[in-house]
Amino acid sequence: MPKTSSKTNPARELVFGDLWEFDPAPETADPKLKPRYDLFINGSFVPPRAGKYFATINPAHETKIADIALADASDVDAACIAAQKAFTSVWGKMPGKERGKYLYRIARLLQDHAREFAIAETLDGGKPIKESRDFDVPMAAAHFFYHAGWADKLEFLAPGKRIAPHGVVGQVIPWNFPLLMLAWKIAPALAAGNCVVLKPAETTSITALKFGEICQEAGLPNGVVNIVSGAGETGAAVIQHPLTTKVAFTGSTEVGKSIMRSLAGTDKKMTLELGGKAANIVFDDAPLDQAVEGIVNGIFFNQGHVCCAGSRLLVQESIADAVLAKLKRRITVLRVGDPMDKNTDLGAINSREQLAKITDLVQSGVAEGAEMHDNGCKLPAKGFFFRPTIFTKVSMSHRIAREEIFGPVLSILTFRTPEEAVEKANNTPYGLSAGVWTDKGSRILKMSTLLKAGVVWANTYNKFDPTSPFGGYKESGFGREGGKQGMLDYLRVV
Amino acid sequence: MPAAKAPTSLRRLFDEIGTVDQVGIEERVAKFTTRSLKKNSKVFGLRLAVSMVDLTTLEGKDTPGKVASLCQKALRPHDVGDIPPTAAVCVYPAMVKHARKHVGGTQVKIASVATAFPSGQAPLKTRLAEVHAAVKDGADEIDMVINRGAFLSGEFGRMQDEIAAVVEACGQATLKVILEVSELETYDNIRAASFLAMRVIRPGDFIKTSTGKTSSNATLGNNQVMLEAIRDHFLATGIPIAMKPAGGIRTAKQALHFLIAVKETLGDEWLNNRRYRFGASALLNDLVRQLEKERTGAYQAPWNFSEATEGY
């Protein structure tokens, strides 16, 4: 029974008990999955030449969903040849206005199949259905709509210069936003007139291969989009293939570095969007409740599997206690559990491997003397789950303050002056994003010039829009995705 | 010159209580609307909402007969099922004695608007006399309006003194302080006015969004600003203040969104009609309609639900 009287509650704390429990509210529509997914090459689904498949599992239940084709170098070769052929015979010659029509059609089809894609995304990746439904799928469609508009206006991207597509683009995407990252990559590439060979992440191939079905439904010419599923070796084959004149990668800094090494000496164009360890900076004049909301959104969105996650909270010392108290109270009402439940705020960690990595880093935080707080909620017996976790008493040299955790773990540091805040925020090898919370407009402008980060959010966090370029500084990569800058990365000056 | 002092004193108040970011708070409340309530949790929420309704009629054309009908509806919202009575009926002072004949001695309280509702533009003496009269006629609860003119011109002391005078005039009656949020306009102002009011009222007294007589009334946004003010005041002082959104809440779905905001902001201790109310009239029948749908498995025809109220 919940406590009901404030007399029994002398500490003046609020009671977030079980007086009004929510019943399960599962999303039950049919994601229309196949038991086995083949490679999408030259407009049709073909089995891998070596005949190998691997299982993809639901991280919330640890059950197998489907068999996914494993592409080897010969499959990648076939895909690249198909893409090259499509580029020279159809897509590269097609007027931009016509290419745009295909992109609009893809965008509308994604909207038509939105529910199906959202459920498939949640099944395969573990993210809460409300995020795949309200964020991933609509944003993916928005990227196709936006870039469709560019297709016949490319000449305005670089006035006075002549620009042309690269040809075949090799793309490798991560598992945190499978369909959305696919859209970020494919939409600008196609709008610019390139053809694509894309490798989805090993644990989340389903929506990418379902996207192949969308391409068929849209009547996209054969070979313009090719999807080759597999693991690291498949990705390396895509990136190193002689026909891919431009490569785009989103993923870990470690893999990004090895890609750069492998491409040294070639004239391939490259954009890399890598890791981050973003500082979310809260000044003492910030609207605290909304800042807390932004902190929560910054680190617990998609279980913290976000490269631009606000994983380091820098809070002004004078308000540190107040912010921590509000933050602790806020995370007690976060609901962790079945990703398919419409009320779930934090779903499953994407894989056993990632859960182990998060656990290891959290243990290092405790061992190094930081103080850990979590919301103490019950976790499902099966599946990969991790409680929303906050660390206080963190210093800049702790591993949890330096390494990307890629999980629902926040490290809180304090600062005294704006200069110290900038110093600490920039004291990282990464530079993808940052957040500033203050009521003072001039301070926002000043901070945004001093922070070495590709994106600086002011009084908000994790806001995305196809029109806004996204990308990093330093070890967070180079090149931009979205907006005019993102388009230019898929074109060359001739 | 009180007006000249205004910016400084409001600034000082914000330094103390903090400000509100409009975009941020509206994003927060949008999340309440994505919660999905099924089965028992839905029935629990709907019944709770019924028990929190201050069933209201505030019209120039109110008559003792209309009030009698309202009281019957409050006591027994539906002729079948076991739907609980509402928390109170809310009427003009002249109707209090009529309401008393029907709900006096029952669990349904009599709330009366007073203090020259809805504008408050009458001499303080007149406003207090109205409160005295309503209490004498048997009102259990008084819904007052704040002096928005005083607040907007920076005369916070005067605004608070007037509330304190009404507290005294209430005697045993519970007080609900209407901020009339649409006339305060900004979330910052709503937060400031909430604190000014909470500092002079008693534990268990209410702050309330609106009169229902202006163009915009209770929204999830201004409800949230006030819930967060109540939370911060409670954590700082231990004094629990109750909350009443009023006006514009017409559907069961809306009411559930407001209750989810309460659950996730103030917690279980505010999920009862001593700490949370809805000022509404049309809402009641939609709650009953949804409860009947849950009970019978089908929506019933509109003429199966008795109409005792209209408008608000």
Backbone angles phi, psi at A390, to 5 degrees: -125, 135
Tens digit of pLDDT for each residue in B67-122?
A: 999 999 999 999 988 999 999 999 999 999 999 999 999 999 999 999 999 999 99
Looking at residue B308, what is its pLDDT?
73
Does residue A191 carry a pLDDT above 90?
yes
Which residues 6+ apart lie within 8 Å of A55 measured at CB?
A64, A65, A66, A67, A68
Would you tell me which residues 176-235 of chain B have a C-beta closer than 8 angstroms to some C-beta of chain A?
Answer: 228, 231, 234-235
Residue B28: other Cβ atoms inside 10 A: 25
- The chain B residue lying nearest A291, using CA atoms, is B24
Does the active-site annotation cover A307? yes
Round to whole Å and give the CA distance between A372 and A365.
8
Q: What is the mean pLDDT of residues B142-169?
A: 96
The residue extents of the domains of chain B are 2-296
The residue extents of the domains of chain A are 36-274+474-493, 279-458
Q: What is the mean pLDDT of residues A348-354?
A: 97
Q: How confident is the model at residue A162 (pLDDT cuts 50, 70, 90)?
A: very high
Round to whole Å and give the CA distance between B183 and B197.
16
Cβ of B250 under 8 Å from any chain A Cβ?
A: no
**Is the Cβ pair A15, B238 closer than 8 Å?**
no
Distance from CA of B217 to the nearest CA of A (A): 22
**Is the Cβ pair B235, A342 closer than 8 Å?**
no
Tens digit of pLDDT for each residue in A277-336?
A: 999 999 999 999 999 999 999 999 999 999 999 999 999 999 999 999 999 999 999 999
Residue where the block lists tokens 């406003």: B127
Average model confidence (pLDDT) for chain A? 96
**Is the Cβ pair B25, A289 closer than 8 Å?**
yes
Q: What is the mean pLDDT of residues A62-85?
A: 98
Does residue A6 carry a pLDDT above 60?
no
Q: Where are the alpha helices (DSSP H) in B93-219?
A: 96-103, 124-136, 148-152, 156-170, 181-184, 187-198
Give me the residues paired with residue B32 across strands.
none
Round to whole Å and give the CA distance between A112 and A93.
29
Nearest CB partner across the interface for A12, out of B37, B41, B234: B234
User: Residue B14 belongs to what H/E stretch?
Assistant: helix B2-17
Q: How confident is the model at residue A12 (pLDDT cuts 50, 70, 90)?
A: confident
* Token pair recorded at residue B180: 């009339």
- The chain A residue lying nearest B227, using CA atoms, is A289
Nearest CB partner across the interface for A23, out of B39, B238, B263: B39
Q: How confident is the model at residue A2 (pLDDT cuts 50, 70, 90)?
A: very low
Looking at residue B4, what is its pLDDT?
47
From the candidates A80, A195, A215, A307, which is the catalytic residue? Answer: A307
- The chain B residue lying nearest A13, using CA atoms, is B235
**Is the Cβ pair A130, B234 closer than 8 Å?**
no
CA distances A15 to A492, B230, B235, B265, B270, Å, are 60, 14, 12, 10, 9
Nearest CB partner across the interface for B36, out of A4, A14, A343: A343
Which residues 6+ apart lie within 8 Å of B201 measured at CB?
B163, B167, B175, B177, B207, B241
**Is the Cβ pair A14, B266 closer than 8 Å?**
yes
Distance from CA of A392 to the nearest CA of B (A): 22
Looking at residue B307, what is its pLDDT?
85
Residues on A contacting B at a C-beta cutoff of 8 Å? 2-4, 6, 9, 12-25, 130, 134, 285, 287-291, 293-294, 325, 333, 342-343, 439, 459-460
Per CB-CB distance under 8 Å, the chain B contacts of A18 are 268
DSSP A49: T
CATH topology of domain B2-296: TIM Barrel (3.20.20)
Residue where the block lists tokens 């490259």: A270
ipTM: 0.93
* Token pair recorded at residue A231: 């693991």
Distance from CA of A468 to the nearest CA of B (A): 19
Looking at residue A107, what is its pLDDT?
98
**Is the Cβ pair A294, B24 closer than 8 Å?**
yes
Does residue B312 carry a pLDDT above 80?
no
Percent of chain A at pLDDT above 90?
97
Using CB atoms within 10 A of its CB, is residue A333 exposed (0-12), middle (13-18) or buried (19+)?
middle
Residue where the block lists tokens 């990365």: A489
Tens digit of pLDDT for each residue in A42-70?
A: 999 999 999 999 999 999 999 999 999 99
Question: b/e map of A374-396 (b: 16 or more CB within 10 Å)?
Answer: bbebeeeeebbbbbbbbbbebee
* CATH architecture of the domain with range A279-458: 3-Layer(aba) Sandwich (3.40)
- CATH number assigned to the domain covering A36-274+474-493: 3.40.605.10
Q: What is the pTM of this model?
A: 0.94
From the candidates A27, A116, A202, A273, which is the catalytic residue? Answer: A273
DSSP A369: T
Does residue B309 carry a pLDDT above 70?
no
Tens digit of pLDDT for each residue in B21-72?
A: 999 999 999 999 999 999 999 999 999 999 999 999 999 999 999 999 999 9
Tens digit of pLDDT for each residue in A235-271?
A: 999 999 999 999 999 999 999 999 999 999 999 999 9
Looking at residue A5, what is its pLDDT?
43
User: Residue B177 belongs to what H/E stretch?
Assistant: strand B174-178
Looking at residue A1, what is its pLDDT?
37
Q: What is the mean pLDDT of residues A338-354?
A: 97
Nearest CB partner across the interface for B269, out of A4, A22, A25: A4
User: A374, A275 in Cβ contact below 8 A?
Assistant: no
Residue A359: other Cβ atoms inside 10 A: 14
Per CB-CB distance under 8 Å, the chain B contacts of A283 are none
Round to whole Å and give the CA distance between A99 and B217.
49
Does residue B310 carry a pLDDT above 80?
no
Looking at residue B9, what is its pLDDT?
80
Looking at residue B11, what is its pLDDT?
86
Does the active-site annotation cover A273? yes
**Is the Cβ pair A290, B24 closer than 8 Å?**
yes
